[in-house]
Amino acid sequence: MVTVLGIDACPAGWLAVRLHDGRFAQAQVAPTLRSFLTGARAGSVTVVAVDMPLGLLETGWRRADTEAAALLGPQRSSVFRVPPRAVWQEQEYDDARRRCRELTGAGLSRQTWGLAPKLREANACLTEPGGDRLFEVHPEVSFRALSNRAMPLARKKSWAGQMTRRSLLATAGIVLPNELGEAGHTPPDDVLDAAAAAWTAHRIAHGRARSLPDPPEHDAGGRPIAIWY
């Protein structure tokens, strides 16, 4: 049995959707991403796909974000350009914005800076046991692949957008139950995003996933930087 996790950040911390052989098994909420890496360290979880930038460059912008934005077209606003490593090492927004302009020639939005705590946590996990099973995903890129590149989907916070995404997942064999326990108290779009990440994790586990860019870039330590789908 192949077990994978798809993980999305949520108000309570992190939300994970677990699949067994491509079918929904469980949804869980935990305060830290490390909480979900135990199974990966033990070998019982093959792939952990997370909706958070993994891998930072020393200068310039990541190709993964540029290519994902180009692929999504009208939905490109859902993709954040991820600035270099030194920007995330700053503690205050004004300092980070200044460093970003020095290294890229462009500023840094407060919305992007809001990723800082969870981005740092996720990237720290890359060098820990089980970190080699972590892969970056972007749910809207995954949903685009799920829909066979059909017309852009309605906004994920809208009723139509959520029902369409739930239907796409069900067609792929991931049937989300109405009752999710504690995980059911998280925003519905976070559940859908985690499920889309899990769908991609299953594809990665079976060697069917693709990456943006292809082949991936690499960080200074040689680790790949790519969005998988």
Domains of the chain as residue ranges with CATH: 3-54+127-211 (3.30.420), 63-124 (no CATH)
Residue 150 has a pLDDT of: 67
Residue 106 has a pLDDT of: 94
- CA Rg value for the chain: 17
Residue 80 has a pLDDT of: 93
Residue 29 has a pLDDT of: 97
The stretches of the chain forming alpha helices (DSSP H) are 38-42, 63-72, 85-88, 93-104, 110-113, 116-125, 139-146, 159-171, 188-205
Residue 40 has a pLDDT of: 79
Distance between CA atoms of 9 and 30, rounded to whole angstroms?
Answer: 10
Distance between CA atoms of 83 and 137, rounded to whole angstroms?
Answer: 17
Q: What is the pTM of this model?
A: 0.95
Each of the 229 residues of the chain gets a pLDDT tens digit; together they read 999 999 999 999 999 999 999 999 999 999 999 999 987 787 899 999 999 999 999 999 999 999 999 999 988 999 999 999 999 999 999 999 999 999 999 999 999 999 999 999 999 999 999 899 999 999 999 999 999 876 789 999 999 999 999 999 999 999 999 999 999 999 999 999 999 999 999 999 999 999 999 999 999 999 999 999 9
Closest CA to 17 of 164, 128, 165, 158: 165
Distance between CA atoms of 179 and 200, rounded to whole angstroms?
Answer: 23
| Amino acid making up residue 22 | G
**83's tokens:** 């600035």
> How do the residues of the chain divide into helix, strand and coil, expressed in percent and rounded to 5?
45, 20, 35
